[in-house]
Amino acid sequence: MLALKEKLTDRGDPLSIINNINSKSVAVKNLEKIYAGHNGKQVKAVDTVSLEIKPGEFMTLLGPSGCGKTTILRMIAGFETPTRGDIYIGSERVNSQTPDKRDTAMVFQSYALFPHLNIFENIAYGLKIKKLNKTVIKEKVEGILDLMGLNGMEGRAPNQLSGGQQQRIALARALVMEPSVLLFDEPLSNLDAKLRVYMRSEIRKIQQKIGITSIYVTHDQAEAMSMSDRVIVMNKGIVEQVGTPDEIYNKPASRFVADFIGVANILDAEVMAIAQKSITVKCMDHLFDVSTTLNLQAGDQIKIILRPEAVQIGEAGKIPVIVEESVFMGAYQDYKLVVNGQILMVIDYNPSQKTVFAVGDKAYLTINEANLHIVKG
Ligand SMILES: Nc1ncnc2c1ncn2[C@@H]1O[C@H](COP(=O)(O)OP(=O)(O)OP(=O)(O)O)[C@@H](O)[C@H]1O
Ligand SMILES: [Mg+2]
């Protein structure tokens, strides 16, 4: 960030989007949205959601289609009125403010560029409405194009750009307004898979350079994991978990989160004994000592989350299994195993260097107890 600031100053550029953006926190408290749906049936799209997003943080709202992500984003932007609850940007309660007063800018899935305006005019549009003078507008538009590596495209029409370039222009158009908060609603969904991956890191780099508070909506868990400081996992209008990518993957708060993020074995287990630092559970007919923050008692039926890559398969080990499926995937061997009647998915990386087991073979598992994570049954 410093190097870039210096670069802009060196050139004698008096304007720096980086210096002018004043990132703010965002908080929602007990936010609820009930839509009057068709035939008089109400839809509770958002159900008592409370969240805090720090200044400069990249926070992602992640969850399946219809879980209320867009509705939360639109309420923060002011396009939708909450049925109940409060929204704060910085220390200010903004419920009664119109969208243009809220100091947020939104980037949409559809880019929403004006087709009849060229790139310069598209980016300058909001600044003109703000009635800034021509010289300032020119400096700001050039500054943001420079910052994003898009110089030279000013005269083109949106349809003369690739999807990825159009989306970067849409981001430039949002950033040039120097908002305190950037809102993204599935901005990469229209791009092909390879470009999507590239754009993830482009957006993240620009966001980090500027240090702007960002709230990003997606149903793509890889996008959420790779871009975010923290992720909010939502399901049916409620928040299931808020955590870093590491926390939601390795310490999912619920069965839903474990299942939604990556691939998970969700195994039946029973609490056998409680000790001071760990509890003993019976799972796949074996005993394991597992640590947990949950308040459990002997006899409780629980679920154990075990990621497929966290298991070692070999010719010796503690737990005997029978191989039901064995598929070579290049980077890994994909196994489906049967352990005391339960199916277990196991991924073994770099299989060319290891013993590969075939369907019907007997093999053994080694499981590090630190990789076992308990959720309530
Ligand atoms: N204007 C509306 N009127 C009635 N119901 C609505 C309206 N907008 C959204 N809904 C409903 O509210 C729920 C949440 O919708 P929302 O668009 O917030 O979901 P989402 O998580 O963004 O989903 P997606 O990933 O498909 O974009 C859904 O059941 C949806 O059908
Ligand atoms: Mg949506």
Mean pLDDT taken over the chain? 91
pLDDT digits (tens, 9 = 90+) for 93-152: 999 999 989 999 999 888 789 999 999 999 999 999 989 999 999 999 998 888 888 888
Residue minimizing CA distance to atom 24 of ligand 1 = 65
| Number of Cβ within a 10 Å radius of residue 27 | 18
- Residue 274 Cβ inside 6 Å of ligand 1? The answer reads no
Comparing 112 with 69, which gets the higher pLDDT?
A: 69
Q: How far is CA 272 from the centre of its chain?
A: 36
- Residue 67 Cβ inside 6 Å of ligand 1? The answer reads yes
pLDDT at 366: 95
- Residue 37 Cβ inside 6 Å of ligand 1? The answer reads yes
Comparing 310 with 151, which gets the higher pLDDT?
A: 310
CA of 34 to the centre of ligand 1 (A): 10
pLDDT digits (tens, 9 = 90+) for 313-357: 999 998 999 999 999 999 999 999 999 888 999 999 999 989 999
- Residue 164 Cβ inside 6 Å of ligand 1? The answer reads no
Structural domains of the chain in order of their starting residue, each with its CATH number: 2-255 (3.40.50.300), 263-376 (2.40.50.140)
- Residue 39 Cβ inside 6 Å of ligand 1? The answer reads no
Lowest mean pLDDT among 19-23, 221-225, 237-241: 19-23
Residue minimizing CA distance to atom 22 of ligand 1 = 70
Q: Please state the φ and ψ torsions of residue 344, each to the nearest 5 degrees.
A: -130, 130
- Probe target for ligand 1 pocket from 65, 71, 220, with the most ligand atoms within 8 Å of CB: 71
Q: What is the position in ligand 1's atom list of the atom closest to the CA of 70?
A: 22
The burial of 133, by beta-carbon neighbours within 10 Å (0-12 exposed, 13-18 middle, 19 or more buried), is given as: exposed
CA of 91 to the centre of ligand 1 (A): 28
Q: What is the position in ligand 1's atom list of the atom closest to the CA of 186?
A: 27
CA of 375 to the centre of ligand 2 (A): 28
| Number of Cβ within a 10 Å radius of residue 193 | 8
Residue 76 to residue 61: CA distance in whole angstroms:
13
* DSSP string for 314-348: ESS-SEEEEEEEEEE-SSEEEEEEEETTEEEEEEE
Residue 134 to residue 121: CA distance in whole angstroms:
12
The alpha-helical segments, DSSP class H, found in the chain are 2-10, 17-20, 69-77, 119-129, 134-147, 163-175, 193-210, 221-227, 245-250, 255-260
Which pair of structure tokens corresponds to residue 250? 């390795």
Which pair of structure tokens corresponds to residue 164? 């990825």
Binned at pLDDT 50, 70 and 90, residue 16 comes out as low
- Which residues, chain by chain, have CB under 5 Å from ion ligand 2? 70
